[in-house]
Amino acid sequence: MATDTPVAPVARRNEGYQDLRDLLVRFEEMGELEKIDGADWRLEIGAVSETVAARNPGRAPALLFDNIPGYPKGFRILSGAANAYRRLAVVLGLPEPRDETELVRAVRARMATEFKPIPPVELPTGPVMENVMRDEAVDLLAFPAPFVHEHDGGRYIGTDDAVLMRDPETGWVNAGTYRVMVHDRNTVAIWMSPGKHGRLIRDKYFAKGAPCPVVITCGQDPLLFIAAHQEIDHGVDELAYAGGQRGRAIEFVRSELHGLPIPAFAEVVLEGEMLPDQTRLEGPFGEFMGYYASEATELPVVRIRRVYWRTNPILTLAIPSRPPENFTFARATVKSALIWNEVEKAGLPGVAGVWCHEAGAGRLFNVIAIRQLYPGHASQAGFLAATCHAGNYAGRWVVVVDEDIDPTNMFDVIWAMATRCDPPEDIQFLKRAWSTPLDPLLRAPPWQNNRAIVDACRPYDWKDKFPRVAEASPELKRRIAEKWPHLYK
C-alpha cells in the first residue's frame, strides 16, 4: 500500500505557509488550536465541533482530534480550520484585522486590485503520494470519517472538501465542495444541488451514458476549501483562484486514472468515477440551513479505485448544522467581499460595507450598507446583492442600510429596520429565484424561492430632514473616553 516515491522539493516562502501542517504549527503558536484526544467518530467529534464553534462565532479555536477510537494514532480530523478572523487572515495572507469589516475590506481590496488567478503548476510527485491504495486494496473505512448528527444516514468523509471534475466539452476543471458519504470500502455518494457546476458537468457525461471521472480531496489547505465552496464563476479554475489568493501557484500532481489535478500537499484524496447506471441511497445529512429538509435520495454510486494519502493523514471537517456553523464565519467574510466586488462591477456606487450574517448560514440574510446618492439607489443595491453570482444561490433576505449602520452588527441592522423601514412601502419581493432542495420552505422541484429586499435606509427624498440620531457626537465620545479611560477599556 505505501510507496516510497520521493517528494519533489518546493520553494518555501518565508511569509507564507506550504500546507495544512505548517498552518497547524502557526495556529498553535497563535493559541488558536485545541487538541482533543479520544473523541469517537460516532457523534462525539461532530457534537464537539458544532458546539465549540457555536459558542464563540468568529473567534472559536480550530479543533484537532487524535487517538480516535478504532483508528491508529495520527489519523486525525481537523474541524473549523479557518473559521475565525485571525486564522482566516493568516490563510489569506492578510494582516491581522481588528474586526470583521476590516477583514472584508482587506479581502475585497485584494480582489479588486492586486488579484489575478495564478495557474497551478504540475509536480512529478508530492506528499499526497506517500501512500496509495489501488483497486482491491482500496479501503475507505481505514479513515475515521465521522458520523456527525444523530439523524444522519451515514458517515461523511467529505465535508470540508474539494470535488474536482473535468468538463468533457471544454476541458475546464471545476472544484466544488459537495458532501461525500461513505457507502462501503470502495464506494461513496456525492450530493450536488441542481444547477451546481459539478452537477452540470456530471450530467454531460451521463447524457452520453459515460461514467464521470472525479477526484475528491478530503483534507487540504483551507484556501482550497474556500475556493471550492464559494460561488466562483463558471469557467474559472478554482486552483488558479486559490493560487491568486496565495500569491503563488498551487502545486498539483496528475491522478493516475484520469489525469485530473490533485493538490500535491493534500492529505487524503479519492479518485474514481460516478456511474451512470447504478444508484444507492444517500443521506439524510444535517444541512447548512440548520435542518434536515431533504430526505435520503437515490444518487449515482461513485466507485473509488485509488486513495492517495499522506502518512498520519488529516481529514478536514466542516459540518452543516443549526447556525452558527463551523465554517460560516469564513464563508461570510469571503462571500461579503465577493458580493461587494460584484455589485460594484455591475455599476453600484457608494457601497460602505457588506455582511452575510452567520444566522443566515452566510447566505440567507445579507446586509449591504450604502451612502445614498440618488433615488432608487437603495433598490438597485438590494436587487444586485440578491442576484449577483455570489449572492444569488439560496438567498432570502437582503437588507439595505445607510452608511452610519454597521452591516456586521445585528443590533444596528435591526434598529435600522425598526426605525427607517416602512414595511408596505420598503419591502419588495423577488420571485422564482435559484434555491435548493435544502431550503426547508421548499417541497418540490424546480427548487425556486422568493426573497425580500428590505430598504432600511432613510427615505431618499427627505433623508436630510429625517430626525437627527440621539447620541453623543464622535468628538464628545472621544473626549469623555480620554477623560475616563477605565470606563471604556
Ligand X SMILES: Cc1cc2nc3c(=O)[nH]c(=O)nc-3n(C[C@H](O)[C@H](O)[C@H](O)COP(=O)(O)O)c2cc1C
> Which residue number places its CB atom closest to ligand X?
176
Task: Indicate whether 320 belongs to the interface with ligand X (CB under 6 A).
Answer: yes
Compute the least distance from the CB of residue 329 to ligand X, in Å.
11
Cβ proximity to ligand X: between 131 and 321 the closer is 321
Q: Enumerate residues 6+ apart whose C-beta is below 8 A from 342.
A: 384, 388, 389, 390, 391
Residue at grid coordinates 445579507: 366
Question: How many chain residues are in contact with ligand X, going by CB under 6 A?
Answer: 20
Cβ proximity to ligand X: between 159 and 408 the closer is 159
Task: Indicate whether 361 belongs to the interface with ligand X (CB under 6 A).
Answer: no
Q: Residue by residue, what is the 3-state secondary structure of 72-93?
A: CCCCEEEECCCCEHHHHHHHHC
Cβ atoms within 10 Å, residue 461:
8
Cβ proximity to ligand X: between 262 and 318 the closer is 318
> How far is the CA of 93 from the CAs of 96, 118, 237, 246, 287, in angstroms?
9, 15, 20, 7, 30
Task: Indicate whether 159 belongs to the interface with ligand X (CB under 6 A).
Answer: yes
The CA-CA-CA angle for residues 229, 235, 239, to 5°, reads 50
Compute the least distance from the CB of residue 168 to ligand X, in Å.
16
Cβ proximity to ligand X: between 131 and 435 the closer is 435
Compute the least distance from the CB of residue 331 to ligand X, in Å.
6
Cβ proximity to ligand X: between 129 and 173 the closer is 173
Cβ atoms within 10 Å, residue 214:
28
Task: Indicate whether 318 belongs to the interface with ligand X (CB under 6 A).
Answer: yes
Compute the least distance from the CB of residue 160 to ligand X, in Å.
6
Cβ proximity to ligand X: between 331 and 420 the closer is 331
Compute the least distance from the CB of residue 244 to ligand X, in Å.
16
- Report d(CA 305, CA 313) in Å as an integer: 19
Number of residues in the chain = 489
Q: Enumerate residues 6+ apart whose C-beta is below 8 A from 125.
A: 5, 6, 7, 8, 253, 264
Compute the least distance from the CB of residue 153 to ligand X, in Å.
13
- Spell out, one character per residue from 461 to 480, where the chain touches ligand X: x when CB under 6 A holds, - when not: --------------------
- Report d(CA 323, CA 301) in Å as an integer: 30
Compute the least distance from the CB of residue 372 to ligand X, in Å.
32
- Spell out, one character per residue from 377 to 406, where the chain touches ligand X: x when CB under 6 A holds, - when not: ----------------x-------------
Considering only residues 170 through 229, tell me which ones interact with ligand X, judged by CB under 6 A.
174, 176-179, 191-193, 196-198, 229
228, 219 Cβ separation under 8 angstroms: no
Among 231, 237, 251, 342, binds ligand X (CB under 6 A): 231
Cβ proximity to ligand X: between 193 and 341 the closer is 193
128, 269 Cβ separation under 8 angstroms: yes
Compute the least distance from the CB of residue 96 to ligand X, in Å.
24
Among 147, 327, 340, 383, binds ligand X (CB under 6 A): 327
Q: Enumerate residues 6+ apart whose C-beta is below 8 A from 305.
A: 134, 135, 138, 186, 257, 271, 272, 273
- Report d(CA 87, CA 96) in Å as an integer: 9
Compute the least distance from the CB of residue 263 to ligand X, in Å.
16
Question: What DSSP string describes 6-40?
Answer: PPPP-PPPTTS-SSHHHHHHHHHHTT-EEEEES--
- What 3-state class would DSSP assign to 373? coil
Compute the least distance from the CB of residue 327 to ligand X, in Å.
5
Task: Indicate whether 145 belongs to the interface with ligand X (CB under 6 A).
Answer: no
Cβ proximity to ligand X: between 262 and 330 the closer is 330
Binding site for ligand X (CB under 6 A): 159, 174, 176-179, 191-193, 196-198, 229-231, 318, 320, 327, 331, 393
